[in-house]
Chain A
């Protein structure tokens, strides 16, 4: 006989039927059911197979600690493994399957592992597959790699879908005065007290209904009490979040929440995220997170039909499911009496075993009246039956231990081994819970930082006391935030009529039993003792060796029993052994929720230039440069990237090319002390830069290495326009702000990023002047004399578009950088491009830009990697000997000025038909090993040279390598290539073209 649905009672709606499937079989339930209650009502007993031994498992609890009914919900891409059936709300169309079994959970070939149990003890894989010493020293890894595949397949939980997640997720942020975790009697009353005192309160409940332990109580009184409180909470404006788990508590009152938005819906609105990850910042926090009932380690205590007593009560009272007809309730404390009474009243034949020698008077009387048979000094020894429990061997007190005596026939065993307050969230704050021997549980301090514990989470066992402690905590929170609130005198914690008798494991001499401590990971009491025999003394080591508490329940089921057994083995008390640290998350959080919307195209924000669409409509293939999307090349017809960039380079050098350079960093430097400021940050003199001129400048870091380079344009007496490299734009801006705000507070200078304000186009090549002259309103401003090299003008393009132009060159040709306000970018390109086209010009992208700058020996972020001095970059002349600047003191350190430092060079393949890769290591011919003599940072085909060239660094620079051959070593790609080292200025070294 198994569980059955009662004709009446519970919080389910029998007038409506919910259809779902379990292992491809159609079943039904009612609104208000959990998957576990519905499966029980359908007579299903074996719902899972255990991790290691493939032991049959049924429902063991009614909550997050579930370690038996772990199932897979959903199909295909939405297959979600390891769902705890008691936590899954039933809905129409739900599809669930058993897992970790073949062919199914009811008949599983893997069950053979259970017979082999003695070979599969704690740490078996370390011992068995790591190689047999001393013959296989060092060979173990290989063996393990081989065996691991099979072990992984045989052991474990459900499997995830291999398909991409079709759902979307999102984040949310919120703020409140008080965050209350848990909506049982304590949580609801604390939320109410605080809200009535004027606080903005958020109440978080992981269940789909408010009420906590109210939900599994009988009688209209508690039902009404619960309903009244819910109504009051709504009236008081408490913000309630259902189906939401507070999984972590962090500094400064920050809580991490997981809201399951659509996991309970058959046809969710496709615009709703599946789950939402919340960041809540609360001024005060109350943890009314309840307590979890412990089991007892007795023989086969994981058989289907064995569950905790509170769960039995929940199934009867909340779900209208009677767990069995002949029920044995085994307890060591008062709490299970209510369960026994409720089951007896619901029609079960109930026997209650109390491990204690006396009975709690009033409770025992009530139980007796309800027809429960009571026994003292009696505990369960071993569950009988395999796929379901059909009897229970018993043990009775014998001295300080137990001895076997008698048996009961039964179809359900409900166990209460005491209660563990949920102190997890407080533990996240770095607080070690302390053992309370009177109540046999770990308790967190009632207050820490701005956090309070309330209700059974604080160790109150009576509902009335829980409510009181909730009101008190709510009042404390209110007064802490300056609200008037009454102070309450709290009852002492605990509250049982008769003290608990600590019972963790039942052993009798001469009987071998499989007593599960952590059923989810198949850790037995014997495993704990084995670990002790093998020398493990710290609980943290014990945990990792036996994997106790490392399953998806995070030790909610078995931790305390494990610690107690370890303490016993060590001959110590539990407080001396201590407990392991609870860390977030309290219950599993999907990776999808953590990533939120930062996925696919939103993996990172995309930064577009104002010419983005213009570039695309003119044939650009784009590439990423940091967050920027930039044109890579503009292929014509069927051109490859190489053909395209070579053509673009040739065309630009011959006529004219246009290139989107908007991504360069741009900073407005304004103020009476702007000149002095620039003079301090750049290595070269800026004090005498005239208005209407630009200057190339290099900035060092404090330690003397190069930070960035760029041109700075003087627009007026007190205003400059600074450009930086694309890569370092943000860093330079922050650095300038730091200098002005921390070191040079006397300077009247403002820096503001104008990178987004201005769109830039490089117009490069011999025809560039002509093209621009045809586009500006007044062509005379472009005259060579009026607008010399490094000149700056502010003028207008046709149509009245304001623009600023500087005659600067990255390509080595006659060239200009033209900037207009961003919203006019397309208009600028529409002016420039027809004129450039008329001159036989082209659009060019990053690849051609790179080719031309490599030919010229200009450095970029690839060279300025933070390890390069200004001399290394071949720009030593840019460092003024006449002034001090940032980095001037430390750049003169001996190691920074060594002659044999790697210096910027050009690189030619010795055989000109050859090529090599960026990233290759430069070595001398006789020693192609180790760190080499240098490295290659950029490679391009040079149309000007007619062969491949590179740029990079090598010890001593090109003079030291004149007439010598070097090796570009690239062992995993191209192999070794012989190269010549040349001056980095490989194209037009005298700059005739630029100045022309």
Chain B
């Protein structure tokens, strides 16, 4: 099988950039995203939730605005009737109960870490990311520089999912905004 080429390939340079002193932001492209979308019908949501949880190896599927990490992958509640399975390469569901869709190539995943990661995100994202509101396990979709994005606060940091076609454009503006904090591209 041929290798996947990400939207940032050819434009992604690792290293330390920006202002001298502390390095307060880390940016990392997470390659080879596996992303399955599970969609339920209103009357089958519980069954679809169970199926999604099972596929991810989790005890249950998350409520709105939340994510749960399971043994095989994470489940993000992306829309009222939809979940995203991150790190899961396939899943089956009866068409009467729901629909599965492979979106692995549709998003580019960027991980944002470091003490100024929240500050950096809020330069572009109108989301309330304060600890009181957006703790680990939180998920939200919003717009960054006019582009619809999804943000997940994972155990590793912030995971930003950008539509692939806009990924380089958003990466550039994110990187430029991060220079003031001192940034390590991993």
Report A-B touching, CB under 8 Å.
yes
Q: A residues near B, CB below 8 A?
A: 170-175, 200, 269, 271-273, 279, 281, 597-598, 601-602, 604-610, 613, 627-628, 662, 668, 670-672, 717-719, 748, 750, 752-758, 799-801, 821-827
State A271–B179 Cα separation when bound (angstroms).
Answer: 6
The answer to whether A757 and B124 touch across the interface, beta carbons within 8 angstroms, is no
Task: Select from chain B the residue with minimum beta-carbon distance to A673.
Answer: B41
* Residue interface bits B91-110, CB-to-A below 8 A is 1, else 0: 00001100101111111000
- Cα(A602)–Cα(B123), bound, Å: 15
Inside 8 A of B37's CB, which chain A residues have their CB? Answer: 752
CA distance A845 to B125 in the complex (A): 36
The 8 closest A-B pairs by CB, nearest first: A823-B4, A670-B99, A757-B106, A821-B105, A756-B106, A822-B105, A271-B179, A271-B180
Contacts known (A670-B39, A754-B101); A824 close to B132, Cβ less than 8 A: no
Binary contact track B154-170/A, C-beta < 8 Å → 1, others 0: 00000000011110111
| Complex Cα spacing A668 to B82, Å | 14
Q: Which residue of B lies closest to A669 (CB)?
A: B99
Determine how close the nearest CB of chain A comes to the CB of B143; give it in whole angstroms.
Answer: 10
A800 to B130, CA, bound (A): 45
A799 x B164 contact (CB < 8 A): no
Question: Is there contact, CB below 8 Å, between A799 and B180?
Answer: no
Does B99 lie within 8 Å of A826, measured CB to CB? Answer: no
Q: How far is the CA of A668 from the CA of B39 in the complex (A)?
A: 12
Which stretch, B5-13, B49-57, B58-66, touches the partner chain A? B5-13
Q: In the complex, are the beta carbons of A608 and B172 less than 8 A apart?
A: no
Q: Which B residues touch A799, using CB under 8 A?
A: 1-2
Q: Which residues of B are found within 8 Å of A628, using beta-carbon distances? A: 165
Let me know if A604 and B123 touch, CB within 8 A: no
Contact check: which of B4, B103, B177 meets A754 at CB < 8 Å?
B103
Return 24 A-B CB contacts under 8 Å, by A number. Answer: A172-B122, A175-B130, A200-B132, A271-B180, A601-B172, A602-B145, A605-B145, A606-B168, A607-B169, A627-B166, A671-B95, A752-B37, A752-B103, A756-B105, A756-B164, A757-B104, A757-B164, A799-B1, A821-B102, A822-B7, A823-B105, A824-B2, A824-B105, A827-B2
Q: How far is the CB of A310 from chain B (nearest CB, A)?
A: 37
A671 contact from B18, B99, B123, B172, Cβ within 8 A: B99
* Most A CB within 10 A of own CB, among B133, B145, B164: B164
B-chain residues with CB within 8 Å of residue A824 when the two chains form the complex: 2, 4-5, 105
In angstroms, Cα B132 to Cα A216, docked, is 39
B176 at interface, CB cutoff 8 A: yes
B6 and A823 contact, CB distance less than 8 A: yes
Report the nearest B residue to A666, measured CB to CB.
Answer: B106
| Contacts A172-B122, A752-B103, A800-B2 supplied; 8 other A-B pairs, CB < 8 Å | A605-B147, A613-B10, A750-B39, A756-B107, A801-B1, A821-B104, A823-B105, A824-B4
Taking a contact as CB atoms under 8 Å apart, the answer to whether B19 and A271 are in contact is yes
Could you tell me the distance in whole angstroms from the C-beta of B174 to the nearest C-beta in chain A? Answer: 10
CB pair A173–B1 under 8 Å, yes or no, is: no
> Given contacts A271-B179, A800-B1, is CB(A605)–CB(B170) below 8 Å?
yes
Q: Could you say which residues of chain B place their CB within 8 Å of the CB of A279?
A: 126
Decide: A754 and B106 in contact? CB cutoff 8 A.
yes
Contacts of B95 in A (CB 8 A): 670-672, 717-718
CA A824 to CA B133, docked complex, whole Å: 38
Q: Which residue of chain A lies nearest to B132 when distances are taken between CB atoms in the complex?
A: A200
Tell me whether B180 and A719 are in contact (CB under 8 A): no
Smallest CB–CB gap between B176 and chain A, Å? 7
Determine whether the beta carbon of B128 is less than 8 Å from that of A281: yes
Question: B127 touching A607 by the CB < 8 A rule?
Answer: no
User: In whole angstroms, what is the CA distance A171 to B133 when docked?
Assistant: 21
B186 at the interface (CB under 8 A from A): no
Q: How far is the CA of A853 from the CA of B8 in the complex (A)?
A: 33
- Chain A residue with minimal CB distance to B178? A271
B40 → chain A closest CB, angstroms:
9
B99–A597 touching, CB < 8 Å? no
Contact count band on B: 35 or more
Docked-complex contact B2 and A605, CB < 8 angstroms:
no
A613 to B167, CA, bound (A): 14
Q: Is B173 part of the binding interface, using a Cβ–Cβ cutoff of 8 Å?
A: yes
Distance A121 CA – B36 CA, assembled complex (angstroms): 73
Smallest Cβ distance from A309 to chain B, in angstroms?
42
Q: A271-B179, A608-B168 are in contact. Are A598 and B145 (CB under 8 A)?
A: yes
Residues of B within 8 A of A822 (CB): 7, 105-106, 164
Contact with B180, one of A173, A200, A269, A606 (Cβ below 8 angstroms): A269
- Tell me the complex Cα distance, A672–B5, Å: 35
Asked if B172 and A602 make an inter-chain contact with CB atoms under 8 angstroms apart, the answer reads: yes
A273-B180, A597-B177, A752-B101 known; A605-B166 Cβ under 8 A: yes
Minimum CB distance partner of B32 in chain A: A823
Residue B45 interfacial (CB < 8 Å): no
B81 within 8 A of A: yes
B169 proximity list for chain A (CB < 8 A): 602, 605-608
* Most A-side CB within 10 Å, residue of B106, B130, B146, B180: B106
Q: How far is the CB of A768 from chain B (nearest CB, A)?
A: 22
The CA-CA distance from A598 to B18 in the complex, in Å, is 20
CB distance from A639 to the nearest CB of B (A): 26
- By a CB distance below 8 angstroms, the chain A residues around B2 are 799-801, 824, 827
Min CB distance, B169 to chain A, in Å? 4
A271 and B18 form a contact (CB under 8 A): yes
CA distance A826 to B180 in the complex (A): 35
A826 and B5 in contact, given A271-B179, A605-B170, A750-B81 (Cβ under 8 angstroms) = yes
**Complex: A753 Cα to B163 Cα, angstroms:** 10
Interface contact B39-A609, CB-CB below 8 Å: no
Which chain A residue shows the least CB distance to B19? Answer: A271
- Docked pose: A670 CA to B37 CA in angstroms: 12
Residues of B within 8 A of A171 (CB): 123-124
Q: Roughly how many angstroms separate A601 CA and B173 CA in the complex, as a whole number?
A: 10
Q: In the complex the two chains form, what is the Cα distance from A825 to B18 in whole Å?
A: 33
- Chain B neighbourhood of A609, CB < 8 A: 165
Within 8 A of A (CB), among B100-156: 101-107, 122-128, 130, 132-133, 145-147
Most chain A C-beta atoms within 10 Å of own C-beta, residue among B10, B107, B132, B177: B177
Task: Give A613 to B5 CA distance when docked, in angstroms.
Answer: 11
Contacts of B164 in A (CB 8 A): 610, 756-757, 822
A-side contacts of B6, CB under 8 Å: 823
Identify which of A173, A602, A613 contacts B173 (C-beta below 8 A).
A602
A757 touches B165 (CB 8 A): no
| Minimal Cβ-Cβ distance residue in B for A601 | B172
A758–B172 Cα distance when bound, in Å, is 23
Q: Are A719 and B99 in contact (CB under 8 A)?
A: yes
In the assembly, what is the distance between CA of A601 and CA of B105, in Å?
Answer: 25
Restricting to B1-30, which residues have a CB under 8 Å from any CB of A? 1-2, 4-7, 9-10, 18-19
Chain B residue contacts of A597, Cβ below 8 A: 145, 173, 176-177
With both chains docked as a complex, state the minimum distance between the C-beta of B154 and any C-beta of chain A, in angstroms: 21
Given contacts A752-B39, A827-B5, contact A757 B105 (CB under 8 A): yes
**Chain B residue, CB-CB nearest to A748:** B41
Q: In the complex, what residues of B have CB within 8 A of residue A610's CB?
A: 5, 7, 105, 164-165
Residues of B within 8 A of A717 (CB): 95
Q: Are A269 and B4 in contact (CB under 8 A)?
A: no
- Give Cα A821–Cα B6 distance, bound, in whole angstroms: 11
Q: Cβ of B165 and Cβ of A756 under 8 Å apart?
A: yes
B18: min CB distance to chain A, Å: 5
Known: A605-B145, A822-B164. A173 touches B103 (CB 8 A): no
What is the CB-to-nearest-CB distance from B178 to chain A, in angstroms, rounded to a whole number? 9
In the bound complex, CA of A826 to CA of B5 (Å)? 8
Specify which chain B residues have a CB less than 8 angstroms from the CB of A719 in the assembled complex.
99
How distant is the Cα of A754 from the Cα of B126 in the complex, in angstroms? Answer: 25
Contact B106 A269 (CB under 8 A): no
Alpha-carbon distance A296/B94, docked complex (angstroms): 82
User: A758 to chain B: which residues have CB within 8 Å?
Assistant: 105
**Inside 8 A of B146's CB, which chain A residues have their CB?**
604-605
Kindly state the separation between the CA atoms of A755 and B105 in the bound complex, as whole angstroms.
Answer: 10
Contact of A607 among B125, B126, B132, B165 (CB under 8 A): B165
Which residues from A are CB-within-8-Å of B130?
175, 200
